[in-house]
Amino acid sequence: MEKATMIKAMKVSISNVLETMFYQMVQIVDDDCGLQAWFAQGQSLLGATLNFSGPSAGSFYILIPVDMANEITANFLGLDAGEIDAGQRTDTVKEALNMVSGGMFAIFDPKGAFKLGIPEMMTEDDLSHDKLKDLQGDVILLETEDNRLAAAIAMD
């Protein structure tokens, strides 16, 4: 399996999902500054992870600032941002990762050799600014008009 092809498919899928379901135009940022430099110190993040298995195994993850998670949840559910609760936010972040990962495999793996797991939220501790440098994998940095987010593929 070519990781580069997988990353390319991931980029296409993220743009597609965020535009279609969450009304967010995203740009891929060609920079390898790392997650710690990408997100501001003290910025609250939500993260979800999803394992995959098959010809090779690993995990995907997505990191989104809480205010952006709130915005995409409001867009997704057709509610005002002020009406969104924490449960709806985490559920939407997990579903976003689920759709991005499924879309990625639809491009990368049309024969269906890979199997996707169930998305799970990352802990607050995993997402502390100090620990962002410890997150493994190939990182994709993305930005919207107002925000920065990131996704990654980590192979086992």
24 sits near other proteins (criterion: CB under 8 A): no
Among 26, 48, 64, 99, binds other proteins (CB under 8 A): 99
Q: Which is nearer to other proteins, 35 or 142 (CB)?
A: 142
CB 17 within 8 A of CB 94: no
- Residue 58 neighbours by CB under 8 Å, 6+ apart: 51, 52, 137, 153, 154, 155, 156
What is the number of residues in the chain?
156
Token look-up 């930005």 returns 143
Per-residue binder mask for other proteins (CB under 8 A), 78-97, x = binder: x--------xx--xx-xx--
Among 8, 12, 28, 109, binds other proteins (CB under 8 A): 109
In one letter, which amino acid is 134? D
Beta bridge partners of 125: none
**Residue ranges binding other proteins (CB under 8 A):** 16-17, 20-21, 73, 76-78, 87-88, 91-92, 94-95, 98-99, 101-103, 105-106, 109-113, 116, 118
